[in-house]
Amino acid sequence: MTTGLIDTPHWPALTVVLAAVLLGDALLSVRPPAFIRDCLDGVRLPRDWWWILIAIKLVAVAGLLVGLHYPGVGVAANVGVVAYFVCAAVAHVRARFLGTTFWVNCLGMLVLSGVVLVVSYV
C-alpha cells in the first residue's frame, strides 16, 4: 500500500526475520542465559532494569509486524530498533565491554536492523 513517502516494507520477509530474531531475544531474556547476563552486567545495567529491555523488544516486534500492513509504522519501529542497538553499542564502548558479545551480538543486531531498514524502506 502506497500512501506517500513512507510505505510498507518492500521486502516484508526481511522485516519478519528481524521481528523473529527480536522475539527470540526477548524470550531468551526472560530467563537470561549466562551470555546475556554477562553482557548486561558487563555494561553495568542494573538488574532491576533488565525487564525494560524485554518490553522494548516486544513493542518493537509488534511495531514491525503491524508495519507490514500499515504504512509508516514499520519504518518507525525499524528506526527504533536501530536506535536501540546504537545505544547498546554506546553502552558497550563506554563500559569498555568489547568482547565477543559486543562484536557478534550487539553489532550483529545493529547491522541486521540497519540492513533491513535500508533494504525495506529505501
Rounded CA separation 9/121 (Å) = 6
**Spans of all domains in the chain:** 12-121
Rounded CA separation 68/91 (Å) = 31
Across the range 42-66, mean pLDDT stands at 97
Direct distance between the N- and C-terminal alpha carbons of the chain, in angstroms, rounded to an integer: 15
Confidence bin at 111 (pLDDT 50/70/90): very high
Name the H helices within the chain: 12-30, 34-42, 50-66, 73-95, 100, 107-121
pTM of the model: 0.91
pLDDT digits (tens, 9 = 90+) for 46-57: 999 999 999 999
